[in-house]
Amino acid sequence: MANIVINRSKGRFAEFAERINANDPTNSVLLIALVAATGVESDAVLVDMDDFAAFVAGTTNFATNTGGTRKSLDNTGGITVTYDDTNDRVDVDCPDQTWTALANDGTGAVGDVLFGYDSDSTAGTDSNVIPISLHDFAITPDGSDVTAQIAVFARAS
């Protein structure tokens, strides 16, 4: 589950997931990006970032390792929204994500994984992507496959 849910997404991430699953708007996706381990600003700073471009405007950077490209899940990507009336909460989940042959080049070590909502994946700009949640994901790549085991990436209760 999220280490932090970004302020702009609090109370909205279930809606984002439902919209992606409904393909409304067309080309909406969940983006999953690796964040470099060095230079990461504090959670208190990152929680206030309104888009992916702002997220990396300071010292925080996306990982640039070979094999570390962003993952994109559309309405066929297996995103689930579970309304749990027994526990009075909603959980949003997606399949585990694997980066194949993630090399120890580019930015080197990875510190976090960031989830975001892009209402139009064809626009191609980070200023359109709303960050949802940031999760600790400390790894030092060595060229092998790396899998992020995701068991609910955001919960509201």
**pLDDT digit string, tens, across residues 98-147:** 999 999 999 999 999 999 999 999 987 999 999 999 999 999 999 999 99
User: Strand runs (DSSP E) across 18-128, as ranges?
Assistant: 29-36, 71-73, 80-84, 89-93, 97-99, 110-118
Residue whose token pair is 């990461």 = 40
Label residues 81-118 b or e (16+ Cβ within 10 Å = b).
Answer: beeeeeeeebbbbbeebebeebeeebbeebbbbbbbbb
User: How do residues 77-94 score in pLDDT, each as one tens digit?
Assistant: 999 999 999 999 999 999
pTM: 0.95
Residue 1 confidence (pLDDT) above 60: no
